[in-house]
Amino acid sequence: MSAFTSHGGRLADARALYGGDDWIDLSTGISPFTWPGGDHLAVDWRHLPDPHDLAAMEAMAAACFGLHPDHLCTLPGSEAGLRLVGRMLDMPGRWLVPSYRTHGEIFAQGAPMRAGEEPPREAMVLLLANPNNPDGRILPPARLLQWLDRLEDAGGWLIVDEAYADAVPACSLAGMVGDERRLILLRSFGKFFGLAGVRLGFLLGPRAVVAQVRRMMGEWPVSAAAIAFGTAAYRDRNWIDETVVTLEEQAAKLDGVLARHGLQGHGGCPLFRLVEVDDGLALFDRLARRSILTRPFDEDRRWLRLGLPADAAALARLDQALADV
């Protein structure tokens, strides 16, 4: 099962192990509602990405996030930015758990911090995801700002992985980013827009940090295709606003199906739900035998995460599969 507990999206492995062709992939937190404009984009593959086009995309993304583009730079996925700043800040780190397995790899030295703890008053970096993965926990911005004040008083930093924040805009701290704050945010394009293969992300922070990351990433941090996708998608405000509403509606329907089978969906992120059962791996296996791929976890065998079904037919199949198990 290690292939399925490391991360989602192992559909080829699932087909090889269980057979079948008509799979429903609920193993990731990627939106099933893909931004529809990609089929109509013209990408110039003959030349290197144009710096003016990159700047235009960053301005469009910054406007969506609610900050000046001087406080934002482009990354080939948000994890690259996390790994850069973890080394760049060069101080001990703490990371709030449970969360991404890779968060513990960001710092040369440090230790996890459990939910319910308060950050210590010392020069350190605190890293957390908000909304969190895999439990969908959302910490109120007011609490995060209290932690930021505490860290700043000691000469520390707060890094927030906001990969899922497009789906829950009210939880973002983007409006608080500034030169006077020791606050760094990471944003992801692919999860909300349903286009993880574009490999596009952003770092938001003080201009000095942004400038340093720009230098480390070089002249062409992403492809011309990523720039074209980002520019057009972030310009599409109507689709963005409508999709935020649609995700909440679909998450409520998923909650209803889970509740009908005695399962409680945990979390406030509408892109996925975490359930706790006696044996999450066993439930994973039973659903996989019905060609529904979910995400189990090594760190807690009771957990199973289910992504958002794409439509009524997929939700009905999940409903029937849960009834059968």
Residue 190 contacts residue 29 (beta carbons within 8 Å)? no
Give the pair of three-digit tokens for residue 280: 């999450």
Per DSSP, 193 falls in state H
The per-residue DSSP string of 233-255 comes to: HHH-HHHHHHHHHHHHHHHHHHH
pLDDT tens digits for range 13-67: 999 999 998 999 999 999 999 999 999 999 999 999 999 999 999 999 999 999 9
The per-residue DSSP string of 11-42 comes to: HHHHHHHH--S--EE-SS-S-SS--GGGGG--
Instruction: State the span(s) of the chain assigned CATH 3.40.640.10.
Output: 40-235
Multiple choice CATH, 40-235, 3.40.640.10, 3.30.930.10, 3.40.630.10, 3.60.150.10: 3.40.640.10
Task: State whether the Cα torsion 8-255-264-135 is positive or negative.
Answer: positive
297: amino acid identity, one letter: F
Q: At what angle do helices 51-65 and 224-235 cross, to 10 degrees?
A: 40
3-class DSSP state for residue 178?
coil
Please state the pTM of the whole predicted model: 0.96
137: amino acid identity, one letter: R
Assigned architecture for domain 2-34+238-324: Alpha-Beta Complex (3.90)
pLDDT tens for the chain, 325 residues long, are 778 988 898 999 999 999 998 999 999 999 999 999 999 999 999 999 999 999 999 999 999 999 999 999 999 999 999 999 988 998 999 999 999 888 989 998 899 999 889 999 899 999 999 999 999 999 999 999 999 999 999 999 999 999 999 999 999 999 999 999 999 999 999 999 999 999 999 999 999 999 999 999 999 999 999 999 999 999 999 999 999 999 999 999 999 999 999 999 999 999 999 999 999 999 999 999 999 999 999 989 999 999 999 999 999 999 999 998 6
DSSP bridge partners of 148: none
Instruction: State the span(s) of the chain assigned CATH 3.90.1150.10.
Output: 2-34+238-324
